[in-house]
Structure 1
C-alpha cells in the first residue's frame, strides 16, 4: 500500500519494489500497489512511474 501518488515516500517505494520484484516472485508472492487515490490519478501515476506490478486505486 502506498499512501499518496507523487509523494517522496511513494516514489522511493516504487523504485525499490521494481528493483526487488524478482525476490517476491521467487517466493511465489504477488506484489500489488493499493492507494487511496482516485482511479484517474492512479492511472497517471502508473504511466509516469511505470511500476512492473499492478496498481489499484481507492474510491
Structure 2
C-alpha cells in the first residue's frame, strides 16, 4: 500500500511573522491555547529577516520589520 503524497508545505512548521513592536518574542505565545505544551523559550530575533525555530516545537519566527 502506498501513502498519498503530502505537499512539502504541509510538513513545514508554521512561520509566525513578527515586528519590532512584538519583541521580545516567546514560544509558545501566551495568548495561544497551546501555551502549556512546552516550556517557554525566548526567540532571539534582532535584525529584519532573522528567522529562528523554536527548539521544542519547530515553529519558525521571522522578524519582518
TM-score, length-normalised on structure 1? Answer: 0.31
Normalized per residue, the structure richer in strand is 2
Normalized per residue, the structure richer in helix is 1
Higher relative contact order (CA 8 A, sep 6+): 1
Compare CA radii of gyration and give the structure with the larger one: 2
